[in-house]
Amino acid sequence: MDTVPRQAEARRRFLRMLVASPLLGRSNLLRISLTSLLGTDVVVQAETLAGLETPQQGEDIISSPDQAFDVMDFEPAARKALPPAHFGYLATGVDDDGTVRANREGYSRLQIRSRRLVDVETIDMSVRLFGASWSSPIVICPVSSQKAFHPEGDIAVARAARAKDHLQILSTGATSSIEDVIAARGAPVWQQLYPTNVWEVGRAIVKRAEKAGSPAIVLTVDLQEGSNRETLFRAQLRDDRTCSACHKGAYTGYARGKPGVRSGGFAESMARKPMFDGLDLSKVTGMRAKPMDWDFVKRLRDTVTVKLLIKGIVTREDAQIAVEHGVDGLIVSNHGGRAEESLRPTIESLPEVIEGVAGKTPVLVDGGIRRGTDIFKALALGATAVGIGRPEAWGLAAFGQAGVEAVLEMLRRELKTIMQQAGTTSVDTITRSYIAIRPS
Ligand SMILES: Cc1cc2nc3c(=O)[nH]c(=O)nc-3n(C[C@H](O)[C@H](O)[C@H](O)COP(=O)(O)O)c2cc1C
């Protein structure tokens, strides 16, 4: 290697080390300078990996929910509370985690055009979805394996959803049953569906959810097998616990950071998830239908007697086809950047999906929503409601039910504030005219 590239590499290595160093703390100014020297990807990756090991020295980590200023304050608290592999599972995107960042950055390209001299004494944040009324448009997304974050898992989330009156969507991979979650919520929750490659298994989950009183089934379509969740794999390598103590025969898709090596059978791992209780999983090899195509959606539509939504649609074309197949609603989602490294923020997919459904169904959006202003922007672009994934899980991991409640409360408060500031008194008054796109 000649001297110049070697010096350049040594310089980059030093800067990387600096980024990962506790000395950086939360200094934004220093971070911005380093970002311009190194490029965003390198900085963020170094920070994430450093953060997985230990909470950064000098970082103000909240020790109770009331110390939080915003929902991001719950992330370091969750990282502190969780073993590296579990936090890695929560944080991970795919490849360089670029789509996770894109989801956030998408919101910074949108500006709010506030109107003045409007009487904003009374603010109504309520929305209606399929005839039911909710006091806010903030929906709790399906997140699997929540007992990996807190012993009370989905039950704590359900109690928080009850306390704050939020719609909750339960994952197929939930660590509590839909019956127990509905009892804790004190009202029906929606059931997310990974149908598996065995029709009878997917059908049985649908029928069980319907019997439990779930008014909607949400088919997730954005996840193929084998997403490259590199942040998770690296975190697994940093975790010195013996994972087999809890994950006997677990399907991780990957064994301790070695892509492509399965640590156990899918059926074995799913057998531990309550929504698969009593089902014959001997022929189950994966979470998706095989093939997972529009014929499958048609068959499912004929089977589901309650509302059927599809989660993971990001294009106008697919939105149109979904409507033609009699789907009742869509969730614009890229699985929180955990599926493919598209680098496309969901907030930028939202307008074309809304065009595709042409007013025939409600459209929800999730991915990167961390502020009341993000919610406001999504509503202004036509979303009926918005979903949050990681923030509720950070709250759960850090403080259980109280943490989830605090996250929900904070987002509601911020939404109310921006509605007042922008001069909008109810959700239906938040329209496209309140948004300007930052000139590029
Ligand atoms: C740890 C974790 C587990 C998830 N599990 C599921 C799941 O079981 N089913 C599903 O449809 N989406 C799942 N998602 C995706 C979320 O439902 C949601 O689309 C995403 O988290 C929203 O992005 P955000 O985390 O930036 O808010 C999961 C997300 C995370 C972070």
The helix (run of H) or strand (run of E) holding residue 334 is: none
From 144, 313, 349, the mutation candidate for ligand 1 (largest count of ligand atoms within 8 A of CB) is 144
pLDDT of residue 48: 57
Name residue 50's amino acid: A
User: Is residue 247 annotated as a catalytic residue, yes or no?
Assistant: no
Q: How far apart are CA 53 and CA 62, in angstroms?
A: 18
Does residue 40 register a pLDDT over 90?
A: no
State mean pLDDT over 368-392: 99
Does residue 250 register a pLDDT over 50?
A: no
Distance 143 CA to ligand 1 centre (A): 5
pLDDT of residue 244: 75
Summarised one tens digit per residue, pLDDT across range 188-247 is 999 999 999 999 999 999 999 999 999 999 999 999 988 999 999 999 999 988 887 777
Beta-sheet pairing, 110-112 with 435-437: antiparallel
Distance 7 CA to ligand 1 centre (A): 42
pLDDT of residue 252: 47
Does residue 68 register a pLDDT over 60?
A: yes
Contacts of 33 (CB under 8 A, 6+ apart): none
State mean pLDDT over 146-154: 98
Q: Is 76 in the pocket of ligand 1 (CB under 6 A)?
A: no
Does residue 45 register a pLDDT over 70?
A: no
pLDDT band at 263 (very low <50, low <70, confident <90, very high): very low
pLDDT of residue 399: 98
pLDDT of residue 3: 46
Nearest atom in ligand 1 to the alpha carbon of residue 90 is: 1
Contacts of 215 (CB under 8 A, 6+ apart): 130, 132, 188, 190, 306, 307
State mean pLDDT over 47-58: 56
Q: Is 99 in the pocket of ligand 1 (CB under 6 A)?
A: no
pLDDT of residue 29: 42
Distance 387 CA to ligand 1 centre (A): 9
Q: Which of 32, 45, 37, 48 is nearest to 15 (CA)?
A: 37
Summarised one tens digit per residue, pLDDT across range 88-97 is 999 999 999 9
Percentage of the chain beyond pLDDT 70 is 82
Summarised one tens digit per residue, pLDDT across range 271-319 is 789 999 999 999 999 999 999 999 999 999 999 999 999 999 999 999 9
Can you give the pTM of this predicted structure? Answer: 0.88
Q: Is 390 in the pocket of ligand 1 (CB under 6 A)?
A: yes
Nearest atom in ligand 1 to the alpha carbon of residue 335 is: 19
Name residue 107's amino acid: Y
Contacts of 171 (CB under 8 A, 6+ apart): 142, 143, 144, 145, 146, 154, 192
Distance 12 CA to ligand 1 centre (A): 34
Nearest atom in ligand 1 to the alpha carbon of residue 171 is: 8
Q: Is 146 in the pocket of ligand 1 (CB under 6 A)?
A: no
Distance 247 CA to ligand 1 centre (A): 20
- Give 388 or 41, the one with higher predicted confidence: 388
Distance 232 CA to ligand 1 centre (A): 14
Mean pLDDT of the chain: 89
Does residue 41 register a pLDDT over 70?
A: no
pLDDT of residue 344: 98
From 335, 350, 366, 404, the mutation candidate for ligand 1 (largest count of ligand atoms within 8 A of CB) is 335
Nearest atom in ligand 1 to the alpha carbon of residue 172 is: 8
From 141, 147, 334, 342, the mutation candidate for ligand 1 (largest count of ligand atoms within 8 A of CB) is 141
pLDDT of residue 25: 45
pLDDT band at 248 (very low <50, low <70, confident <90, very high): low
Does residue 19 register a pLDDT over 70?
A: no
> Which of 57-61, 83-87, 107-111, 118-122 has the lowest average pLDDT?
57-61
pLDDT band at 4 (very low <50, low <70, confident <90, very high): very low
State mean pLDDT over 310-335: 99
Planar angle of CA 419, 424, 430, nearest 5 degrees: 95
Query: How is 14-68 classified by DSSP, letter by letter?
Result: HHHHHHHSGGGTT-HHHHHHHHHHH-HHHHHHHHHHHHHHSPPTT----SSGGG-
Q: Which of 309, 327, 353, 346 is nearest to 169 (CA)?
A: 309
Nearest atom in ligand 1 to the alpha carbon of residue 104 is: 26
* Tokens encoding 342: 């598209």
Q: Is 336 in the pocket of ligand 1 (CB under 6 A)?
A: yes
